[in-house]
């Protein structure tokens, strides 16, 4: 609550929060079917119609309503972004915690594996995973998570290394607290701030990555709408139907902008010393 208030007070954080809130609302409406038209219904007599009162943002090659598809598409892109970042956070935190806490061989093995994933070109890593498993929502989630897990592992391991030498951890140990208790209670609490910031920024990156994968035809499968897919379907129609490129493009940009603004504001609030330090 305190943080929410601070964000509302923050000049750009407010804008970011507003954008995310509006997107979430649109996504929920899209998910529950409160859209102007059915996003999958093909009004094939009304193909490639420019924006009008019946189709607010025009129609695509199949005569589907762009505005409705955008609403559903935001949901789809958000689900992939949230799920992949969630998965990456979970795996990254576990790996970073264990590596930092136990050190030694485990640390070596875990962190070298993470280095390995980092050294692997990101889009090729995602591409290989997708080619093996076959494209789809779940695969996109796994592929994007694989790219971001090492980053979270690093973000977590650093503070754990410092924290474990701190007095309060020693104190907890002398009082006989179990390792599990110390890890979950002391470590995780102290990791919340850096993680939250990283999560918000990673969401922005995940949205970009999803758009890129869809652009290469590897993301969400048609006819399900996703922002990246809509753009890749529209690129060869750029001249006949510019609205098909413009609206999804703007929607992606604004969405990512929202998360970037929100993340920056969070960083200012939670960690005022290191403004923009970590990238």
Least distance from other proteins to the Cβ atom of residue 110, Å: 12
> Strand, coil or helix: what is 271?
coil
Residue position matching structure tokens 């093995």: 109
44: buried, middle or exposed (CB in 10 Å: 19+, 13-18, 0-12)?
Answer: exposed
223 in contact with other proteins (CB under 8 A) = yes
Q: Give the number of residues in contact with other proteins, rule: CB under 8 A.
A: 60
Q: Both tokens of residue 237?
A: 């129609």
Binding to other proteins (CB under 8 A) within 9-38 occurs at: 12
What are the angstrom distances between the C-alpha of 240 and each of 47, 65, 217, 235, 243?
11, 16, 21, 10, 9
Segment near other proteins (CB under 8 A); pick from 68-76, 83-91, 170-178, 236-244: 236-244
Least distance from other proteins to the Cβ atom of residue 47, Å: 7
Q: Which is nearer to other proteins, 252 or 266 (CB)?
A: 252
CB 4 within 8 A of CB 257: no
Selected binder of other proteins within 22, 24, 29, 123 (CB under 8 A): 123
105 in contact with other proteins (CB under 8 A) = no
Least distance from other proteins to the Cβ atom of residue 8, Å: 19
118 in contact with other proteins (CB under 8 A) = yes
How far is it, in rounded angstroms, from Cα 35 to Cα 33?
5
Alpha helix stretches (DSSP H) within the chain: 2-9, 11-31, 66-102, 104-119, 122-133, 137-163, 167-174, 179-181, 188-215, 227-234, 242-270
Binding to other proteins (CB under 8 A) within 85-104 occurs at: none
Least distance from other proteins to the Cβ atom of residue 179, Å: 24
Least distance from other proteins to the Cβ atom of residue 63, Å: 8
Concatenated DSSP letters of 209-264: HHHHHHHTT-SSPTTS--HHHHHHHHGGGTTT-HHHHHHHHHHHHHHHHHHHHHHH
166 in contact with other proteins (CB under 8 A) = no
How far is it, in rounded angstroms, from Cα 203 to Cα 195?
12
Least distance from other proteins to the Cβ atom of residue 122, Å: 7
Q: Which is nearer to other proteins, 1 or 132 (CB)?
A: 132
Segment near other proteins (CB under 8 A); pick from 60-68, 78-86, 175-183, 184-192: 60-68
Segment near other proteins (CB under 8 A); pick from 2-10, 126-134, 168-176, 187-195: 126-134
Closest CA to 202 of 93, 107, 51, 108: 93
Other beta carbons within 10 angstroms of residue 21's beta carbon come to 11
Cα Rg, the chain, nearest whole Å: 22
Q: Which is nearer to other proteins, 30 or 228 (CB)?
A: 228
Selected binder of other proteins within 36, 253, 270, 271 (CB under 8 A): 253
Q: Which residues bind other proteins (CB under 8 A)?
A: 12, 40-42, 44, 47, 61-63, 112-113, 115-116, 118-124, 127-129, 131-132, 134-135, 158, 204, 208, 211-212, 215-218, 221-223, 228, 231, 235-240, 245, 249, 252-254, 256-257, 260-261, 275-277, 279
């Amino acid at each position: 609550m305190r943080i929410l208030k601070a964000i509302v007070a923050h000049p750009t954080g407010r804008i970011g929060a507003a954008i995310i809130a509006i997107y979430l609302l649109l996504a929920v409406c899209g998910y529950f079917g409160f859209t102007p038209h059915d996003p999958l219904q093909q009004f094939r007599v009304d193909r490639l119609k420019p924006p009008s009162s019946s189709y607010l943002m025009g129609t695509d090659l199949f005569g589907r309503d762009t505005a409705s598809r955008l609403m559903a598409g935001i949901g789809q892109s958000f689900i992939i972004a949230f799920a992949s970042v969630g998965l990456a956070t979970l795996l990254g935190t576990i790996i970073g915690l264990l590596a930092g806490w136990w050190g030694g061989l485990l640390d070596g093995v875990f962190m070298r594996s993470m280095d390995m994933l980092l050294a692997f070109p990101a889009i090729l890593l995602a591409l290989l995973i997708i080619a093996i498993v076959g494209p789809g929502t779940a695969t996109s989630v796994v592929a994007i998570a694989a790219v971001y897990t090492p980053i979270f592992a690093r973000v977590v391991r650093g503070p754990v290394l410092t924290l474990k030498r701190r007095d309060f951890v020693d104190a907890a140990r002398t009082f006989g607290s179990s390792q599990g208790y110390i890890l979950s209670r002391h470590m995780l609490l102290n990791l919340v701030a850096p993680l939250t910031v990283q999560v918000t920024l990673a969401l922005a990156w995940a949205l970009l990555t999803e758009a890129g994968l869809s652009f290469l035809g590897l993301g969400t499968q048609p006819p399900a709408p996703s922002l990246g897919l809509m753009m890749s379907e529209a690129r060869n129609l750029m001249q006949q139907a510019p609205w098909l490129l413009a609206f999804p493009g703007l929607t992606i940009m604004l969405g990512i902008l929202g998360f970037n603004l929100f993340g920056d504001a969070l960083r200012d609030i939670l960690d005022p010393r290191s403004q923009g330090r970590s990238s």
